Structure 1
Amino acid sequence: MKYAILGSGAIGSALARRFAAKEINVSLANTKGPESLAGLVTEFGDRVKPVTAAEALQANVVILAIPFDAVPNAVKGVEWDGRIVVDATNAIDFPAFTPRDLKGRLSTQIVADAVSGARVVKAFNTLLAARLGADPAISGGRRVLFVSGDDVSARTAVAELIERLGFAAVDLGGIAEGGRAQQFGGGVAAKEFVQLG
C-alpha cells in the first residue's frame, strides 16, 4: 500500500511526523515542489519522500491535508479508479473561525464530488495539528482519531492505518451520519478523546 500526503502545512507535517515515527513510508507533496520540502525531509528521515503533487495523487491512499477551498484545483483531472482519498480538510470561514455555510451539505460530500471515482474517507481532521503530530500515547491510553466513509473496506483500511500510526481508531459509519460529527463545528471536531487501556 502506497501512502501520500498532499499538503505540507501544519496538518500535513504533523501526519508526516507520525509516519516517520512509526517507520511507515509516505510520500509528501505541496504546490511548491519537492525541493521546498528539504527541511522537513531532513527532520523526518528517509521514510518521508518528497514528490511532486502529480506523483502523490497516484498513491493507493491519498490524504488531502490542504485547505478545503484548494481541493477542486488540486485534484483536477485525476483518474481515481477506486483508490482511497482521505479528507483531512475543514470547511472554515476565516477570520471568524466558524463553520462554513455549505447550504446543508457536508464538506466531505463536496470533496467527494471533486474526486469522483475515489472511495472517500473522512479522517485526521478532528485533532489540532500539535496533538496530531505528538505521540498518541497519553494518560494510560491513546488519542482517538475518528473515521467515516460510505465504503466499508476503505474505512477499514484507513482505520488500520490510524492504528499503525499509534492512535485509537473509532469508526463512526457513513458520511451522512459519522461525517457530520467530524465536520468543523461537529460533535467530535477540535476535541481530544482518549481510549484507555
Structure 2
Amino acid sequence: MKNSIGIIGAGNIGKTVAGHFVKAGFPVLISNSQDPESLAETIAFLGQGARAVRPVEAAEADIVILALPWSEVPGLSDLTDWNGRIVIDATNHFITYAPDFQVADLDGLASTEVVQQHLSGARLVKAFNTIFFKILEQDPQVGNGNRVLFVSGDDSEAKAVVSQAISAIGFAPVDLGSLAVGSKFQQAKGALATLNLVKIG
C-alpha cells in the first residue's frame, strides 16, 4: 500500500501537489485553516482518493506536506507531536506578495531550518517550492525527460522516502544535500528558485 499524503494548506501548491498524488494512486488528506466542508469544491476537483480533513488529521499521514503561508508556520508547533514524522516543507518565506515579493529576514538561517525550530523532531525535507504552480500542475514528463524537483534534508532515510514519492508521481528528484546548504538554493530568492529544469533519461 502506498504511503498516505497529508497536506496542510489547500492553496495553489497544496491543490496542485494533491492532484499529482491522487493521480498516482496515493491516499491524500488535504486540509486548510477552515472546516473540511469548505474544501468540497477542491475534493470534487481532485476526485476519488482525496479526502478533506482538519490539519491535525493531515499531520497524522505517513508523509506530511506543508503548503501554507509563511505567517502560519509558527502555529504548527502545537498541532501534533512532530517527533519522527516525515515532513516536506513546500513553504516559501514571503511576507508580501506581488509586486514586491519581500522575504523574511532569517538571520542567515535557511527557511527550512526555521521551520525545523517549530516542528521539534520532525524529519524535514525541502521540496515542491521552487516551481511556479502553473508549471508544477503540468505533465511532469516532457519529451524524453522529467521535470526536476529538488530535495534537501539532513535525514537520508526521509529524503529517500520523499524522493521515491516524487519519482512515483513522475518527477525527477535531485538531491542538493543538507538543509543548511541545499535548501538555501531552493528557498525564495535562492539560486534555483523558479527554475524549470528537465532531466533527460
Report the TM-score range of the alignment, normalised by the length of the smaller protein: over 0.9
2:176 counterpart letter in structure 1: L
User: CA contact under 8 A between 1:144 and 1:170: conserved in structure 2?
Assistant: yes
1:114-153 C-alpha deviation (Å, 9 max, x unpaired): 0001111100101111111221011321110000000000
Going from structure 1 to structure 2, the CA distance change for 1:190 and 1:112 (only over 3 Å counts) comes to same
Specify the SS of the correspondent of 1:28: strand
Quick one: which of 140, 145, 168 aligns to 2:144? 140
Is 1:154 equivalent to 2:153 in the alignment?
no
1:143-193 C-alpha deviation (Å, 9 max, x unpaired): 100000000000111111100111000011111111111111111111101
**Which residue of 2 is the match for residue 109 of structure 1?**
113
**Which residue of 2 is the match for residue 82 of structure 1?**
84
User: CA contact under 8 A between 2:66 and 2:87: conserved in structure 1?
Assistant: yes
1:91-130 matches, cutoff 5 A: 91-95=93-97, 96-130=100-134
Quick one: which of 168, 183, 190 aligns to 1:186? 190
Alpha-carbon separation, structure 1, partners of 2:76 and 2:155: 23
User: CA contact under 8 A between 1:137 and 1:143: conserved in structure 2?
Assistant: yes
User: CA contact under 8 A between 1:142 and 1:166: conserved in structure 2?
Assistant: yes
Q: CA deviation at 1:77?
A: 4.3
1:59-109 C-alpha deviation (Å, 9 max, x unpaired): 121100001120111342421230111110001241421433211111101
Specify the SS of the correspondent of 2:167: helix
Q: State TM-score, norm by structure 1.
A: 0.95
Alpha-carbon separation, structure 2, partners of 1:133 and 1:11: 9
Alpha-carbon separation, structure 1, partners of 2:73 and 2:103: 17
Alpha-carbon separation, structure 2, partners of 1:115 and 1:81: 8
Alpha-carbon separation, structure 2, partners of 1:115 and 1:187: 26
Q: State TM-score, norm by structure 2.
A: 0.93
User: CA contact under 8 A between 2:145 and 2:198: conserved in structure 1?
Assistant: yes
Alpha-carbon separation, structure 2, partners of 1:191 and 1:59: 29
User: CA contact under 8 A between 1:83 and 1:119: conserved in structure 2?
Assistant: yes
Quick one: which of 11, 14, 27 aligns to 1:12? 14
**Which residue of 2 is the match for residue 33 of structure 1?**
35
Alpha-carbon separation, structure 1, partners of 2:64 and 2:147: 22
Greater mean alpha carbon deviation, residues 143-152 or residues 47-56: 47-56
2:66 counterpart letter in structure 1: L
Identity of aligned residues (%): 42
Is 1:45 equivalent to 2:62 in the alignment?
no
1:155 counterpart letter in structure 2: K
Superposed CA RMSD in Å reads: 1.2
Alpha-carbon separation, structure 2, partners of 1:91 and 1:17: 24
Alpha-carbon separation, structure 1, partners of 2:133 and 2:140: 12
**Which residue of 1 is the match for residue 180 of structure 2?**
176
What are the ranges of 5 or more consecutive residues in structure 2 without an aligned counterpart?
Answer: none
Specify the SS of the correspondent of 2:125: strand
User: CA contact under 8 A between 1:85 and 1:118: conserved in structure 2?
Assistant: yes
